[in-house]
């Protein structure tokens, strides 16, 4: 079945075995064994492998509800099977309207008790759901950091606000958060409805134009957690992923101060040529690179492009080859994406790739 | 009813204007009735008929043709999803396919097919000769047909709707909707809603006023109760979606700003209006399906259903409750805590009346002597799968839980368990059960068993794993997924399993085609069932019953297996039905029933043209009103009541 994937990149600071992600399941769910076989242990972006308080609370709820549902279903099926297969007196003259009054009375009592039991179970489940919701809601208001995520067709704009304007950061498709700290994610959309969903950290929340909302994320282990747009948003809804990188406070601060810096002037000839091509062929109309005249806002900010893990909302890995392919023909990688194909000579293309690759 | 009898009836009719059935011998009675209720031969007859059986039959056939189209779209999607990053179908076509699949299944298959069975069966089950507004019935079919053809022809020209069957704005709005695609979707909704509302009105009037004498409220067959409740749900739910689709088309066509937040509109308003209809919609499909179960199960358990009153009250309760839980489709939009708790509780509450029905059916089986003909297999398959769907429904009613599984394959699994397990299985059972009545021939039991097991096993193998895929994080409505996701194997398994379902449905259609020609002759009552539709011939004559029955028992054919009491005194030289009191069905009036007419078709063409034109210009509403008015004026032109002539 599914390949076991390591759920988290190891933190650089601590020594820790690469998590082998053995499928560890609570013993009490042994009854769901057949499900396990199907489940494999894909931990790519799974609600079954929580790494934050919210997601963990919800997974508990999922298991409790599943257990009740499985039990109820088995009970109903058992009674149905008994009703179908029970031994009956073989009288040939049975007429459909000959009804045993005593049996009817017994049925009435049994059905009434079954209904009472149903009501009881529903009340218990509703109460459990209420308390889970309450405990998740109690996280909001305790946040120490705010990130604003804006949905676009089909990528995520990510903004951090500092005390001064120079501390503001704009990046894309990647959120860095300090481990263990609740982080407020403010959500908004400027085009259509999207939904922000990182299953291993929290449930989803829609980004509705004109109705800003928010969500609290908390990660209790360092790692990278994948998320994906969950509300259908057009052609490339399938390729609109976001990565949450949870790291130690020091690593986070280091990342943040690096992102605050504008890009230095290009170092070599190739980079300079690349920057010229970038600024002169139209790339700059949509993209910003702080420290250069490029100030477009339609596409992702590319100031520290090379520091990110993936390209085009996790459509491609961040490698020079993928970057070149993407710039050469975005429509074949992500049909319908808003980025047009720009005619560049092979040399210009290579130069642009080298230049962008230097924007760490 | 040979030609000779027909001519002599015509002759006699002139002589004996206003002749009643009292004292007429059976042969002459039938000749008179056949003449009065006849449908002309040939194409013209096909276009003008108002016979509820002919219209019901073509409604059913049309709905199943749309099922085939929607099923093939699903198959195409499974082909694309069988492996990660497959390149068979691009996002543009894929988005159209899943939108057309959902739209067709909901608007063009599930709701119409349930209405179709009601149109066919209700008059027969309550012992009358036609529905209350026969021409409205014909009109509703034509409007439905035009709406369905329109959206599929648009699809053939690469203008298939592609914003999902829910068409959320702004994606379907003026700025982001592609070309005319959302306009075709919005107008298709208008067509099918008009037809659904028309049927709802007919059903309510028919059931309330035209029941056989003696069929008091507590003797109405449960199936008829279920379609009555459904008709009321349609009446209150459908206007919400007609309003919202009209607002959408106004936003797109004439620049109103209902849904544009920048101009003071609200994108969320669409969702409230749509789901205020969209959730009851599920019950519009599901309630008649439970009616099928309540009709089929007692026949094969050989005893009356246990808890008649409880089931009726459950149906009514489901009808009411279905309006209180639309927000559970919108949990991820963010609600205040109190709202969350309210809609969680109301969503869970609907499990209670559904549970009551399940318990009563099981008690019926327990107290009866079940036999396992194909219709019964589908009913058992229904209980097996629907209970799973109901329980996962309880899961998604919880707000925190739903926030993880909403818009994932878990929900895809959940609602297919509810809609396929809960509605399509009983529907297939209903086809096996009433096919003999409709065609006069039995379906093959052998093919039926293969059909059942393939669909049942294939369905569960296809949809059960989707629960797990959803929990593993696979979102809905994605045309592909990366290999690294680890979802590949399970998707391949699902795609292969869907072929089994496909094979099952192929056998279903094969069985129908073969049995139409070669099926065993059924006779009036092949299953020894208890309700009135089995008291007449198979297929029933144009006038349904030569004499209208009188009902003294909830299970009339079991209580009086040899002879039913009948009504006398109806006119037989013109179309006439009997109207009675709402509660006790005490006969009050002889009411004329409308004759064949071409005007419902012409009016539907005029209305259809106006709807279609309004996709392109708002002036179509103005100019289109002229032919529409002409159509309606001619349709309702007074023809002189037969009573006045007497």
pLDDT tens for residues A210-228? Answer: 999 999 999 999 999 999 9
CA-nearest residue of chain A to B346?
A126
- Chain B closest-CA separation from residue A54 CA (Å): 9
What distance in Å separates residue A302's CA from the closest CA in chain B? 24
Could B485 and A199 be called an inter-chain contact, meaning their C-beta atoms sit closer than 8 Å? no
Calpha distance A336→A240 (Å, rounded):
12
Mind telling me how many Å the CA of B450 is from chain A's nearest CA? Answer: 21
Whether chain B has a CB inside 8 Å of the CB on A287: the answer is no
Residue B486, classed as helix, strand or coil, is: coil
Among A134, A192, A235, the residue with its CB nearest the CB of B91 is: A235
DSSP string for B235-296: HHHHHHHHHHHHHHHHHHHT---TT-GGGT--HHHHHHHHHHHHHHHHHHHHHHHHHHHHHH
Contact A231 B398 (CB under 8 A): no
pLDDT, residue A139, reads: 85
Q: What's the CA gap between A109 and B521, in Å, rounded?
A: 43
By the CB < 8 Å criterion, does A195 face chain B?
yes
Look up residue B503 and give its two tokens: 């094979």
Q: What is the pLDDT of residue A15?
A: 38
Q: Is pLDDT above 90 for B313?
A: yes
Give the Cα separation of B306 and B431 in Å (integer). Answer: 24
What is the pLDDT, as a whole number, of residue B12? 55
Q: Could you give the CA distance from residue B447 to residue B515 in angstroms, rounded to a whole number? A: 10
Most A CBs within 10 A among B404, B460, B470, hence the mutation to make, goes to B404
CA angle B227, B124, B553 (to 5 degrees): 85
Q: What is the dihedral of CA A36, A39, A43, A47, to 10 degrees?
A: -90
Contact B401 A129 (CB under 8 A): yes
CA terminus-to-terminus distance, chain B: 27
Q: Which pLDDT belongs to residue B5?
A: 46
For A47, the closest of B267, B404, B487 (CB atoms) is B404
Q: What are the tens digits of pLDDT across the range A47-69?
A: 999 999 899 999 999 999 999 99
Low-confidence ranges of chain A (pLDDT < 70): 1-42, 90-94
Question: 3-state SS of B41-70?
Answer: CHHHHHHHCCCHHHHHHHHHHHHHHHHHHH
Instruction: Report percent pLDDT > 70 for chain B.
Output: 96
Q: State the nearest Cα–Cα gap between A202 and chain B, in angstroms.
A: 7
Q: What is the number of alpha carbons within 13 Å of residue A183 lying toward its C-beta?
A: 29
Run of H or E including B331: none
CB atoms B489 and A103 under 8 Å: no
Question: Among B46-50, B257-261, B339-343, B373-377, which stretch is predicted with the lowest mean pLDDT?
Answer: B339-343
Q: How confident is the model at residue B10 (pLDDT cuts 50, 70, 90)?
A: low
Chain A contact present for B369, CB below 8 A: yes
**Interchain proximity A96–B486, CB inside 8 Å:** no
- Torsion angle, alpha carbons of B276, B277, B282, B283, to 10: 90
* Helical ranges in B89-221 per DSSP H: 91-103, 111-126, 134-156, 181-209
pLDDT tens-place string over residues A177-201: 999 999 999 999 999 999 999 999 9
CB atoms A125 and B404 under 8 Å: no
Q: First-to-last CA distance in chain A?
A: 37
The pLDDT mean for chain B works out to: 93
- What is the distance between the alpha carbons of residues B556 and B550, in angstroms, rounded to a whole number? 9
Residue B2's pLDDT is what?
Answer: 40
The pLDDT assigned to B642 comes to 53
CB contact under 8 A, A335 and B351: no
Q: What per-residue confidence (pLDDT) applies to B11?
A: 57
Residues 300-359 of B with CB under 8 A from A: 302-304, 306-307, 310, 332-334, 337, 340-341, 344-345, 348-349, 351-352, 355-356, 358-359
Q: Which residues of A touch B487 (CB under 8 A)?
A: 2, 42
CB contact under 8 A, B472 and A111: no
Query: Which residue in chain A is spatially nearest to B360 when comparing CA positions?
Result: A111
| Nearest CA distance, B192 vs chain A (angstrom) | 25
Residue B645 in this model has a pLDDT that exceeds 60: no
Window 291-350 of A: residues touching B by CB (8 A cutoff) are 314, 335-336
A48's CB contacts (< 8 A; 6+ apart) are A39, A59, B471, B472
The residues in A 163-192 lying below 8 A from B, measured between CB atoms, are 191-192
A-chain residue closest to B163, CA distance? A234
Q: Is B97 on the interface with A (CB under 8 A)?
A: no
Over residues A33-46, the pLDDT tens digits come to 444 444 444 578 99
Contact A323, A312 (CB under 8 A): no
User: Which of B95, B341, B489 is nearest residue A2 as measured by Cβ atoms?
Assistant: B489
Which residues 5-34 of B have a C-beta within 8 angstroms of A? none
Give the DSSP H or E segment for B570: none
| Partners of residue A215 on adjacent β-strands | A185
pLDDT single digits (tens) B110-128:
999 999 999 999 999 999 9
Question: Do residues B350 and B325 touch, judged by C-beta distance below 8 A?
Answer: yes
Q: How far is residue B39's CA from residue B264's CA, in Å, rounded to a whole number?
A: 55
Q: Do A47 and B170 touch (CB under 8 A)?
A: no
CA atoms within a 13 Å half-sphere pointing along the CA-CB vector of A236: 23
Say how many CB pairs under 8 Å bridge A and B. Answer: 271
Rama region for A350: left / alpha / beta (φ>0; ψ in -120 to 50; rest): alpha
For the stretch B272-303, pLDDT in tens is: 999 999 999 999 999 999 999 999 999 999 99
Lowest mean pLDDT among A5-9, A345-349, B11-15, B398-402: A5-9
Chain B residue with minimal CA distance to A231?
Answer: B407
State the DSSP code for B422. I
Q: Do A100 and B363 touch (CB under 8 A)?
A: no
pLDDT at B265 over 60: yes
B86/A contact by beta carbon, under 8 A: no
* A131 touches B at CB < 8 Å: no
**What Cα–Cα distance (Å) separates residue A2 from each residue in A169, B73, B490?**
38, 28, 9
Residues of chain B in contact with residue A338, where contact means CB-CB under 8 angstroms, are none
């Amino acid at each position: 079945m599914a390949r076991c994937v390591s759920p988290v990149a190891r933190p650089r600071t601590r020594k820790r075995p690469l998590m082998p992600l053995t499928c560890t399941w609570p013993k009490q769910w042994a009854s769901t064994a057949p499900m396990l076989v199907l489940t494999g242990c894909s931990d790519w972006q799974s609600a079954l492998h929580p790494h934050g308080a919210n997601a963990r609370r919800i997974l508990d709820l999922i298991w409790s509800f599943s257990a009740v549902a499985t039990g109820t279903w088995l009970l109903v099926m058992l009674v149905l099977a008994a009703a179908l297969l029970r031994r009956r007196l073989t009288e040939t003259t049975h007429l459909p309207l000959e009804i045993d009054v005593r049996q009817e009375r017994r049925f009435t009592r049994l059905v009434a008790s079954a209904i009472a039991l149903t009501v009881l179970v529903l009340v218990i489940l509703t109460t459990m759901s209420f308390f889970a919701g309450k405990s998740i809601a109690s996280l909001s208001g305790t946040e120490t950091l705010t990130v604003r995520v804006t949905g676009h067709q089909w990528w995520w704009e990510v903004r951090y606000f500092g005390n001064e304007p120079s501390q503001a950061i704009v990046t894309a498709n990647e959120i860095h958060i300090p481990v263990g700290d609740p982080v407020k994610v403010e959500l908004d959309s400027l085009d259509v409805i999207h939904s922000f969903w990182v299953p291993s950290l929290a449930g989803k929340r829609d980004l509705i134009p004109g109705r800003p909302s928010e969500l609290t994320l908390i990660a209790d282990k360092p790692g990278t957690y994948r998320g994906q747009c969950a509300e259908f948003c057009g052609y490339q809804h399938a390729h609109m992923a976001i990565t949450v990188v949870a790291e130690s406070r020091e690593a986070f601060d280091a990342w943040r101060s690096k992102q605050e810096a504008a890009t230095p002037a290009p170092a070599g000839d190739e980079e300079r040529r690349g920057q010229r091509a970038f600024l002169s062929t139209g790339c700059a109309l949509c993209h910003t690179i702080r420290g250069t005249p490029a100030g477009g806002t339609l596409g992702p900010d590319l100031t520290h492009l090379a520091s990110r893990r993936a390209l085009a909302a996790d459509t491609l890995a961040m490698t020079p080859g993928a970057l070149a392919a993407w710039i050469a023909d975005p429509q074949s990688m992500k049909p319908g994406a808003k980025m047009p194909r720009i005619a560049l000579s092979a040399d210009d293309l290579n130069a642009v790739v080298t230049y962008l690759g230097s924007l760490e | 009813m040979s030609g000779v009898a027909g001519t002599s009836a015509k002759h006699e009719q002139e002589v004996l204007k206003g002749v009643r059935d009292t004292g007429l011998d059976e042969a002459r009675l039938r000749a008179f009735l056949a003449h009065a209720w006849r449908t002309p031969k040939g194409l013209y007859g096909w276009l003008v008929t108002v016979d509820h059986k002919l219209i019901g039959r073509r409604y059913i056939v049309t709905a199943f043709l749309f099922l085939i189209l929607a099923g093939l779209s699903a198959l195409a999607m499974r082909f694309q999803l069988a492996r990660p990053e497959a390149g068979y179908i691009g996002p543009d076509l894929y988005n159209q396919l899943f939108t057309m699949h959902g739209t067709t299944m909901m608007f063009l298959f599930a709701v119409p097919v349930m209405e179709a069975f009601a149109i066919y069966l209700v008059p027969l089950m309550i012992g009358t000769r036609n529905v209350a507004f026969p021409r409205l019935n014909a009109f509703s079919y034509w409007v439905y047909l035009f709406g369905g053809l329109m959206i599929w022809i648009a699809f053939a020209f690469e203008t298939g709707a592609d914003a999902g069957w829910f068409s959320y704005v702004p994606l379907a709005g003026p700025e982001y909707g592609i070309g005319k695609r959302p306009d075709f979707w919005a107008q298709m909704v208008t067509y099918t809603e008009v037809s659904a509302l028309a049927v709802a009105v007919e059903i309510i009037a028919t059931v309330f006023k035209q029941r056989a004498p003696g069929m008091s409220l507590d003797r109405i067959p449960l199936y008829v109760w279920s379609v009555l409740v459904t008709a009321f749900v349609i009446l209150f739910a459908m206007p919400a979606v007609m309003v919202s689709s009209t607002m959408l088309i106004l936003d797109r066509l004439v620049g109103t700003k209902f849904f544009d937040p920048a101009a003071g509109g609200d994108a969320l308003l669409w969702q409230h209006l749509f789901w205020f209809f969209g959730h009851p919609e599920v019950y519009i499909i599901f309630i008649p399906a439970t009616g099928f179960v309540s009709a089929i199960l007692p026949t094969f358990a050989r005893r009356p259903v246990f808890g008649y009153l409880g089931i009726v009250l459950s149906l009514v309760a489901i009808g009411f409750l279905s309006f209180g839980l639309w927000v559970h489709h919108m949990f991820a939009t963010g609600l205040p805590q109190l709202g969350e708790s309210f809609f969680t509780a109301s969503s869970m509450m609907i499990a209670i009346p559904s549970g009551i029905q399940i318990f009563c059916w099981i008690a019926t089986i327990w107290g009866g002597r079940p036999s396992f003909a194909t219709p019964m297999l589908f009913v058992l398959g229904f209980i097996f799968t629907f209970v799973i769907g109901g329980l996962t429904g309880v899961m998604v009613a919880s707000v925190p839980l739903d926030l993880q599984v909403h818009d994932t394959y878990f929900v895809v699994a959940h609602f297919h368990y509810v809609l396929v397990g809960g509605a399509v299985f009983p529907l297939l059972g209903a086809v096996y059960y009433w096919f003999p009545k409709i065609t006069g021939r039995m379906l093959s039991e052998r093919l039926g068993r293969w059909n059942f097991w393939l669909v049942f096993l294939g369905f569960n193998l296809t949809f059960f794993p989707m629960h797990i895929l959803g929990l593993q994080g696979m979102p809905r409505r994605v045309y592909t997924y990366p290999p690294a996701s680890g979802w590949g194997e399970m998707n391949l398994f699902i795609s292969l399993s869907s072929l089994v379902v496909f094979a099952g449905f192929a056998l279903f259609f094969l069985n129908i085609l073969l049995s139409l020609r070669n099926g065993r002759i059924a006779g009036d009552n092949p299953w020894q069932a208890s309700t009135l539709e089995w008291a007449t011939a198979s297929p029933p004559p144009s006038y349904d019953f030569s004499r209208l029955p009188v009902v003294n028992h909830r299970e009339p054919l079991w209580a009086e297996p040899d002879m039913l009491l009948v009504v006398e005194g109806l006119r037989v030289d013109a179309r006439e039905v009997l109207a009675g009191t709402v509660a006790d069905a005490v006969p009050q009036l002889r009411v004329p029933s409308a004759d064949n007419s071409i005007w419902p078709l012409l009016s539907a063409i005029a209305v259809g043209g106006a709807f279609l034109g309004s996709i392109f210009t708002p002036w179509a509403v103005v100019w289109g009103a002229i032919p529409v008015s002409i159509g309606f004026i001619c349709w309702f032109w007074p023809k002189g009541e037969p009573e006045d002539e007497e």
